[in-house]
Each structure stands twice: as structure tokens, then as C-alpha cells.
Amino acid sequence: MSSLVVPPALLRWVAGIDVATAAGSAAVDVPDHATTLIVRTDKRELIVMGPRTRATYHIAAPGRSCVRVRLRPGRAQALLGRSLNGLADGVLPLGELPGLDIDRLAADPVAALEGAVADRPEPSERLEEAARLLADTTVSATAARLHIGERRLHALFTDATGLSPKHFARIDRLRTVLAADAGRWADIAATAGYYDQSHMTAEFRHFMGVPPAAFTAGRRPAATLCTA
């Protein structure tokens, strides 16, 4: 897998762009609170993949290739023009996406995306601000900082990300652990915002299927063949 540089014009919409070709070896898709645009370049198919709430371990047939565009919180709702409620752990096939040509997206993802969002209104920053706050504080404190009620915050997140604020924050903490450099698990747990190491271990097992020490040592659930 290779990552493309996201230019400044796309940073308000896109968190990352990857180009991947399956090699027939085991791979893992970790939980993610983001919504992702995927172009199957071998089939010229465009799909939207909602947030993933569990890790999946799989093997894809060699030669399959795709472009994956990971969108910033709330941007998928603006790009698709629809609520993401119910899209968690699901996929939405798209015959087309106005302003986004599939062939151009497969050939030059950056240029295609720049053209697609060039004339779109500036997306609201409220959802991203809420996401940043949730990384360091509680749902109730986040709602208070935004001067909205918790019920309103829940509705905002469910529509814009497909996840509740609490579920979004849990996945965010997990991803902090996955991205951490080697170190003491107790220190990593504290940095990620868990109560203690046992809390982190329980959450990691819930999302990844195995505890963190087993995962980093390569003792992972068996991969299944991806037939989609």
C-alpha cells in the first residue's frame, strides 16, 4: 500500500488517500470511525464504506487494486448529501457521485477529488471540533463546550458519522493505541485516555479480537478469504 500526499486544498475534506494492490497475504482492517470512498480500479466500481466497529482479518486475491479515500469527520455527509445513520459496518455501492468521475478518480485520485470539491460550500467545522474535544474529554463536557445538549450532539454524530459520540471516542482511543510506538502498556493506556491498563486491554480485545500484547506479537485471529 502506498499513501499519496493530500494537498492543502483537500485537507478540509480528506484525511488520507491510499493506493493498494492485494498480494494474496493476510491483512487486517482495523476499526475506523471515518467513512471511506473506495474505487475498485480493476472493476471501476465506486463504493462508500461506513465506519468499521470491529477489526477484520482477511486475504484478498492477488492483483485486486483499489484507491481508498479516508474522509474527515462529517465530510462524507456533505459529499454524499445524505445522513450516514445506519451505515456503520456497511457499504453503499454508488453508480455515480455527481462531480466525481470514476475513471479519473482511479487514474489520478488527487486531481479528481480537487475538481469534485472545488465548488462545494465550505463544510461546517462543528463536527470536527466535537471530534477533537471527544479525544480529551467526556460526551457531556464536549456538548457543554459546544453549547449544545447531549441529545443534539448524539444526533449530530449519528447523522454525520454513523456513530454515537461515545462509540466514536472509543474507536479513536483504540486507534491511538494502535499508532503508539513501543512502550509500557500502562503508559500507552494513560496517553490514550483509558482509566488504566486493564481498561485498555478489555477495549482492545473487544475491537480487535485479541489483547494488545498478542496482536503486536502476531498472534491474531485467522484470516478469511475475501470474496467480494
pLDDT band at 228; cut points 50, 70, 90 = low
- Which candidate, 64, 19, 69, places its Cα nearest to that of 47? 69
Among 23-27, 80-84, 180-184, 188-192, which range has the highest average pLDDT? 188-192
- Give yes or no for residue 176 having a pLDDT over 90: yes
Beta bridge partners, 56, equal: 29
pLDDT band at 24; cut points 50, 70, 90 = low
**What is d(CA 39, CA 68) in angstroms, rounded to the nearest whole number?**
7
Residue 126, number of CB atoms within 10 A of its CB: 15
Per-residue CA distances from 18 to 2, 6, 37, 128, 129 (Å) = 6, 10, 11, 22, 25
